[in-house]
Amino acid sequence: MASRYQRHLSLPGFTPRHQERLDAAHVLVVGAGGLGAPVLTYLAGAGVGELTVMDDDQIDETNLQRQVLFTVADIGRPKAVVAAERVQALNPDITVHPLTTRFSPTTQSQMSDDLNLVVDCSDNLPTRYLLESWALNADVPYVWAAIGQYAGRCSVVLPHVGACFECVYGPAERVAEWPNGAQGGVFGPVCGVVGALAAAEAIKVLTGLGQPLVGRMAMVDAWSGDLTQIVIHPDPYCRTCQDRHLTDLA
């Protein structure tokens, strides 16, 4: 293990064994936008051995206000490909796979069966519900982050522990964003705060270090500067959780 990870190994509780766990891990990051940028950067920097980056979108000028992996020269190029190039350059020792497709019932069947964790950085509700349900059914820990205007949220769902995204928001067909993402705008730095938080949670789950944000939801409000967290319990009527044999940790 190269000196690249010396600052990890100097941390209290962080041993070469923890670094080896990161090196052996395969993480799927869905969405290479505002949240994907910090998540991918920190996971690559931390030495997560295999990253799959999924995004079907191309870079446009309005992305550059917050999607900090991209430059003017990248406009028109696929986000997944450019993001993969950038984090591969940051850490040549890891393997990065770009996928320029959307997570869907079709593409989910093509996903690798060796995934250790999914980070949801997607930008819409249907993808989130589908991805969460798929990950938990596959016994893969699911870290989600979401942003809207000046606010952001993040939580961790383990296959059999903790309230999930649907537990918080209810059945997919009854939820609508408020306000709509593109119309409502996004305060750029919130992506960095919440994305970095999601990356930290992913690294904690993969290594087993610290106390993951399970059964709790962290919330950032950049307008007021408030950083809060609330306890979230599983919803007894949640369909995603029906087959999870849940333990309510909170």
Partner 1 sequence: MTEAHIRYFAAARQALRRSEESLSGADSLADIVKRLSTRDPAIARLLSHCSFLVDGTRREPDHAPLPDGAVVDVLPPFAGG
- Contact set with partner 1 (CB under 8 A): 31, 33-36, 120-125, 128, 145-151, 153, 167-170, 175-179, 181, 184, 186, 219, 221, 223-224, 226, 228, 230-236, 238, 250
Do the Cβ atoms of 37 and 67 come closer than 8 Å? yes
Give strand pairing partners of 52: 28, 97
Please return the burial class of 3, using the count of CB atoms within 10 Å of its CB with bins 0-12, 13-18 and 19+.
Answer: exposed
Contact between 209 and 56 (Cβ < 8 Å): no
From the CB of 50, what's the least distance to partner 1, in Å? 22
Q: Which is nearer to partner 1, 50 or 120 (CB)?
A: 120
Nearer to partner 1, 122 or 207 (CB): 122
When the beta carbons of 19 and 122 are compared against partner 1, the nearer one is 122
**Please, what is the minimum distance in Å from the beta carbon of residue 186 to partner 1?**
6
Dihedral over Cα of 181, 147, 164, 170: its sign: negative
Count of alpha carbons within 13 angstroms of residue 93, beta-carbon side: 16
Nearer CB in complex with partner 1: 22/193: 193
Distance CA(227)–CA(225), nearest Å, equals 7
Residue 50: its H or E element: strand 50-54
Q: How far is the CB of 8 from partner 1 (least distance, A)?
A: 27
Indicate the residue among 140 and 238 with the shorter CB distance to partner 1: 238
Residue 54 backbone dihedrals phi, psi, to 5 degrees: -115, 125
- One-letter amino acid at 110 equals Q
**How many residues are recorded in the chain?**
250
Question: From the CB of residue 57, how many other CB atoms can be counted at a distance below 10 Å?
Answer: 15
- In the complex with partner 1, the residue whose CB is nearer, 89 or 182, is 182
* Minimum distance of partner 1 from residue 7's CB (angstroms): 29
Query: Measured from the CB atom, is 62 or 228 closer to partner 1?
Result: 228
For the bound state, the minimum distance from the C-beta of residue 124 to partner 1, rounded and expressed in Å, comes to: 6
* Contact criterion met (CB below 8 Å) for 183 and 248: no
